[in-house]
Each structure stands twice: as C-alpha cells, then as structure tokens.
Copies of this chain bind each other. A is one copy, B any other.
C-alpha cells in the first residue's frame, strides 16, 4: 500500500474510543485526528500523540483526511453532521434510526454527490451485519421467514426506566432472546412472532437502604410499555457485585432465515453475534468499512451508500488474488 489510510474521528464518546482502539488493529490505517465539540484541551485520548481539534475548525482539515468516521448519535448529531461533513470528507457512520433511513440517505446522497464524496451510512451490526444477513437470507431462500432476535444485551432505555423507580440505587436491564421462541424458529416451524414474544427481560438491581424488594419488583414488572407485556426477572444484588459484573456493555443477537427449497427440503441459515463490548464491536465494523469507503473514493464511485452496495472484498486489506487463494 502506497500510504496508510488517514482516518479521523468526529465525536469522541464510547463509539469514538472504540474506533481509536480498532484502528490500532489495522496497520494499513492511521488515526490522524479527533474532532470534538468539547474544548479540545479537555479531551483525553488513549493515545496522547493524536491531536484533538475543535469540531468548529473541521473544514480546514479536508485535505488531510481520507475517511472521516462519524461517531455522534443518530437522534440529533448525525442528521445534521452527516450531510454537512459529506461536503468535505468521505464519511462512514452508524445511523440507526431505521424509520428515517430513506430521508437521511437522500440528504447524504445530495451532499456527497455535489461534493464528489462517498458517504456510507448505517454501518455496524444492526443496521449493518444483521441487515446483510436479512438480505442474503431472503435472496437465497425466497420462500421462508426471517427472524431477528436481540440479546443478551444491555438496553439503555430500559435501564434508565428501572433506575427511575424509587428505592433503586443502581440498576441495569438486559434483553434476552426467548429460549422457547428460538427453539420454535430453529425447528423450521416458521411461527408468527411479535418482537415481545421473541424476547424476555432481566434486571439487576441494587436497593437503597431500607427499600422493600417486593414493592420494587412489582413496580418494575408491571411498568406499562417497558415491562408489563414481557416476562421479566428481577434480581437483587449488592453494589460490589453490580460494579464487578454489570459495568460492561455486552450485546449480540441472531438473524435466522428459515425456509425451504424444492418440494419441502427445510433449509436454515443462522447468523449470531456474542459481544463483550457493543460499542467496540460497532467501531470494528465501522473501521473495516472505512477501508471500503477509501477504495470507492479512489475510483470515484461517489454518493451515499449502504452495506448492500459494498462488495465484501473491499473490506479486507488483502488483495483480490490473495483473498481468492486464502479465503475462498
């Protein structure tokens, strides 16, 4: 490779830190800077040699960055930052508001095309790798059903809800795939299942001193919208156990395509992820796709793209001949 791919990060939270870590595992790329809306002097990276710049100055660096990895949130950051930054940089982001994808895609595409840039949206595992498996599954087995299960995984919104219950000192909520629903799907039965039938919920709670566990359990399992319609298990633990066992951000899930070919040959495709760190894994996917963005930009294949548009070989540092020889 003639030079290392120059990557920068816009937004330095859990995801941005994950991207910094993932880049260290990819010797054909280098992190040339981090952009933050905070005072750059207040942002401490894992690697002190990488400069931190003010987001307000980002336009000045458009000739110094091959790919900008956008690590802001989907709710308010990306809808604004994505189309703005695609004017100056080739970008990749993890936009995950499924319902707003068409609108976001259109805004990015316009901006990227006008500027002759590549803007790759909705990269990660869902949307991202799970989306790919939904597509491969239904293209290969047109007669069948696709099932997506999430978990075991930390759910931020539900953890917040649990912590708002009076008497709860600390708490987390995990979403788990329902064992029964998974077994039915794997049997090839092709059941109709709602999201709630497919999942159960598990809470780990540290109580305030003197709080009544049974009252709190009842408040949680009957909470409308969040827990009332699910099977929910509430576990009470002490603060030391909580700190030790519930401070990471595990996640994962399954995409299963259950179909048939011919007369009635049952065929099943299953894809699953077991992740100790959700943000670090999403970051690893973003970095692999940043390599693809760089390559598309080099051949002037511009505009907004999704994982559906990216040939798999573009993700690997290996040459096409090496891939055919080693991995086919």
Interfacial residues, chain A to chain B (CB-CB below 8 A): 18, 21-22, 25-26, 98, 101-102, 105, 122, 127, 129, 131-132, 134-136, 138-143, 248, 260-262, 265-277, 280-281, 283-285, 288, 291, 306-313, 315-317, 320-321, 323-325, 327-328
Whether the Cβ atoms of B266 and A135 lie closer than 8 Å is: no
Whether the Cβ atoms of A269 and B261 lie closer than 8 Å is: no
Q: Using Cβ atoms and an 8 Å threshold, which residues of chain B touch A283?
A: 261
Q: Using Cβ atoms and an 8 Å threshold, which residues of chain B touch A136?
A: 129, 312, 315
- The copy count of this chain in the complex is 2
The residue that A135 contacts in the complex, of B131, B135, B312, with Cβ under 8 A, is: B312
Q: Using Cβ atoms and an 8 Å threshold, which residues of chain B touch A309?
A: 311, 313, 320
Whether the Cβ atoms of A284 and B127 lie closer than 8 Å is: no
* A137 CB → nearest B CB, Å: 10
Chain B residue nearest to A137 in the complex (CB): B327
Q: A142-B25, A261-B277, A280-B261 are in contact. Are A327 and B131 (CB under 8 A)?
A: yes
Whether the Cβ atoms of B321 and A135 lie closer than 8 Å is: no
Whether the Cβ atoms of A267 and B280 lie closer than 8 Å is: yes
Chain B residue nearest to A105 in the complex (CB): B324
Q: Using Cβ atoms and an 8 Å threshold, which residues of chain B touch A25?
A: 142-143, 261
Whether the Cβ atoms of B261 and A267 lie closer than 8 Å is: no
Whether the Cβ atoms of A140 and B262 lie closer than 8 Å is: no
Q: Using Cβ atoms and an 8 Å threshold, which residues of chain B touch A269?
A: 129, 271-273
14 residue pairs of the A-B complex, CB under 8 angstroms, read A262-B277, A262-B280, A265-B276, A266-B276, A267-B277, A269-B272, A270-B270, A271-B271, A306-B323, A308-B323, A308-B328, A309-B320, A310-B311, A310-B312
* A254 CB → nearest B CB, Å: 9
Whether the Cβ atoms of B21 and A261 lie closer than 8 Å is: yes
CA A264 to CA B307, docked complex, whole Å: 27
* A291 CB → nearest B CB, Å: 8
Q: Using Cβ atoms and an 8 Å threshold, which residues of chain B touch A265?
A: 248, 275-277, 280-281
Q: Using Cβ atoms and an 8 Å threshold, which residues of chain B touch A122?
A: 328
